[in-house]
Structure 1
Amino acid sequence: MVVRLRDGETGFLEKFARACGASEQDSGRIRATVSDILAQVREKGDRALLELTRKFDRLSLDTASLRFSPERIGKALTATDPGILEALRLARDRIWSHHARQKPNDHIYTDAQGVSLGIRWTPVDAVGLYVPGGLASYPSSVLMNAIPAKVAGVERIAMVVPTPDGQVNEAVLSAASIAGVDEIYRVGGAQAIGALAYGTESIAPVAKIVGPGNAYVA
């Protein structure tokens, strides 16, 4: 619910204090919920991930259906409007061109004492990409987060995207394919973040997680 407060109105300070207190209470509640979810995923792995997906997304999966298959991703490319695919490919190329200019170069030199010194830039082994799912559509977010990792030379990009009630956003899957994402899992929420951070039997852990989301995944 949106609460509108105006400075100078009667009881402003009291109302403002109550609003701030409610926000703190919500933050504490969310933190406790997320901590419990992360602990479950860390301890139980796939079993917790599947149970939580069934609970929050109303979707029953098993380890075989946890990850989108290449065939399913191919169907998404076929189902996506050709104009959208063209726009995604154009955006991919432009984003790549921009970030390629930001990539730092190694620098090696020999100092006055004859010692070779320098700076070497190396990519992390794997990154995780969180993408909101359901009715929301964020294919641009996929490109903006996956392509810099590809430019940097990250060898493995694992993406998680919830599919509540089985709803799959074809444009998001298409964007992931166009961006070169290596693995796409149909899970979301704090449980997906936990799977990427700690790893499960089906999802190997990553070194860094990026992407938009609400307070439960921030």
Structure 2
Amino acid sequence: MNWLADFFADPANWAGPDGIPARLAEHLAFSGLALLVAAVIALPLGLWTGHTGRGASALTLAAGAARALPTLGLLVLVVLLTGAGSFAPVLIPLVALAVPPILVNTYEGVRGVDPELRDAAYGMGLRGRQVLLGVLVPVALPLVLLGLRTAAIQVVATATVAAYVGLGGLGRYVIDGLATQDYPRAIGGAVLVAGLALSVQGLSALLSRVAVSPGVSRRRRAR
């Protein structure tokens, strides 16, 4: 506990480009951009595959392969291919980490909608896109948001790897602290990353409660 007090009570850790606010902003920038890119890739693909049923086997194989990729190993490989000093070495492994939970949960959410709801929507004269956006997505939203939440937590926790290629973020405290045997710095950085991940989980859960229709929530609890 004294180590944590030494780190958080030091005014030098709260100001300048190496201060906690600046490092937190960098960490959020890496994480937010990676999550945005992953969502742009995974959400449309998951919705289309879940709605049409096409390519489900390929989706499962691709998601499993992406999950098996070691994030740090992929980071080192990208650095060797592209060079350090840019966002690319960090974004590529973080996007690869975030895509599978978003993709799989979106697919499973859409495919898991009661077939009677689909039939009723088509019976009312709705077309494919209308059925998807007006019926399937609202019912599948809890699982879709769960996939986004899982991806967000994983990305925030793993974005510390940015420090390995000379970029910023909260990982700088962990990497630099271990390298210089400044253990209060390393432990303080780890606590910041854990606290940020817990905050993301809490905010995501709150968003889910606000965004999901009460009727959908009751229907899921009744199952």
Task: Verify same fold: TM over 0.5.
Answer: no
More strand by share: 1
TM-score, with structure 2 as normaliser: 0.27
More helix by share: 2
